[in-house]
């Protein structure tokens, strides 16, 4: 068994329309699914990604209107990093600055160029130009020219309380999940899956003086790792149970199936299946065009449509 990489990252937003405006209108991601939080159906669950919503490109949000601002800290995914083409750093710095987004100057990390910024809720984000490039295509239907478009995830950063917690986390990554160490600098270690590269990387950051994170708007709820099918997911669950890790039963998320557990430092992990994907209830051309509900919530469609705030896609204007 081998985990190919990141499946998706799920964070919390306070305003669903503001979230759509930023991730579609500024970052140029494709809204591939608008549905509801299956555990809280009165609120949206929004999914963004590439043209088809491929695993490894999917950023999702629990959109809770009026949610208070959370605190980014230890026991969390502290930074979510997207991959961009190597020629795109100047374009993206200008684009983000031009849309009144506070953005740092590009800086080097592990021979890559990194641009740090935050979304409207304060969620820490990065755009990373990988040294070896990224052959995945961008979404051609958005406001960002495809040659500069986001390719999917580059990596996530796990913030750990200190060396002990970090060591236990890295043992889980390497001994149980199949990661291998590939780089280290100061208080940051980088680990890779398979051949490595964008979408198959995780950084572990040791922050002994940082406060514990608090989940609310502007924070990551969980990170999901990929598995190709139900059979391997079941095998992963048995492996984790054999390691005395408290892991949930399989949960049906309509577009994938999931198991959840916490790594030793407290970050919520998920292992999600690649299939069945986002095309099971609407065509690729129509992805994200309307509210989609699982069969067990269809009887409540009228009630949910009345309670959910309307959403509009931003006008697609190319350029800065």
257-297 confidence digits (pLDDT tens): 999 999 999 999 999 999 999 999 999 899 999 999 999 99
Distance CA 167, CA 163 (A): 6
Q: pLDDT class for 202, splitting at 50, 70, 90?
A: very high
- Would the pTM count as exceeding 0.85? yes
The secondary structure of residue 176, as a DSSP letter, is: I
DSSP 224-284: EEEESSHHHHHHHHHHHHHTT---PPPEE-SSSEEEEEE-TTS-EEEEEES-S-GGGSS-G
pLDDT of residue 242: 96
**pLDDT above 70: residue 164:** no
Mean of the pLDDT values across residues 122-140? 93
Stretch among 131-135, 250-254, 269-273 having the lowest mean pLDDT? 131-135
pLDDT digits (tens, 9 = 90+) for 11-32: 999 999 999 999 999 999 999 9
Mark 153-176 as b/e (b = at least 16 C-beta within 10 Å): bbbbbbbbbeeebbeebbebbeee
Place of tokens 């190319």: 318
Q: Beta strands 268-273 and 58-63: pairing type?
A: unpaired
Distance from first CA to last CA of the chain, Å, rounded?
43
- Sorted by where each starts, the structural domains of the chain and their CATH numbers stand as 6-307 (3.10.180.10)
pLDDT of residue 316: 66
175: left (phi over 0), alpha (psi -120 to 50) or beta: alpha
């Amino acid at each position: 068994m081998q985990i190919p990489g990141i499946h998706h990252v799920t964070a919390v937003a306070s305003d669903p329309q503001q979230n759509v405006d930023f991730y579609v209108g500024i970052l140029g991601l494709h809204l591939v699914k608008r549905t509801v939080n299956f555990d809280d159906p009165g609120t949206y669950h929004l999914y963004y990604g590439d043209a088809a919503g491929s695993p490894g490109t999917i950023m999702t949000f629990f959109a809770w209107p009026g949610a208070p601002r959370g605190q980014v800290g230890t026991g969390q995914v502290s930074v979510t990093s997207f991959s961009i083409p190597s020629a795109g750093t100047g374009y993206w710095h200008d684009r983000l600055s031009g849309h009144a987004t506070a953005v740092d100057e590009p800086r080097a990390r592990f021979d890559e160029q990194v641009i740090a910024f935050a979304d409207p809720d304060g969620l820490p984000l990065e755009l990373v130009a990988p040294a070896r490039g990224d052959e995945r295509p961008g979404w051609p239907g958005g406001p960002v020219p495809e040659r500069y478009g986001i390719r999917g995830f580059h990596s996530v950063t796990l913030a750990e309380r200190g060396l002990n917690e970090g060591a236990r986390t890295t043992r889980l990554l390497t001994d149980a999940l199949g990661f291998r160490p590939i780089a280290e600098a100061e208080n940051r270690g980088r680990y890779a899956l398979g051949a490595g590269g964008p979408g198959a990387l995780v950084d572990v950051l040791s922050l002994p003086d940082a406060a514990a994170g608090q989940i609310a708007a502007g924070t990551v709820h969980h990170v999901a790792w990929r598995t190709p099918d139900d059979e391997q997911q079941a095998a992963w669950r048995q492996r984790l149970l054999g390691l005395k890790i408290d892991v949930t039963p399989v949960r049906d998320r309509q577009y994938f199936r999931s198991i959840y557990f916490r790594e030793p430092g407290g970050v919520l992990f998920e292992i999600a299946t690649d299939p069945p994907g986002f095309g099971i209830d609407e065509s690729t051309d129509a992805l994200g065009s309307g509210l989609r509900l699982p069969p067990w919530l269809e009887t409540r469609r009228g009630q949910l449509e009345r309670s959910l705030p309307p959403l509009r896609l931003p006008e697609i204007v190319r350029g800065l």
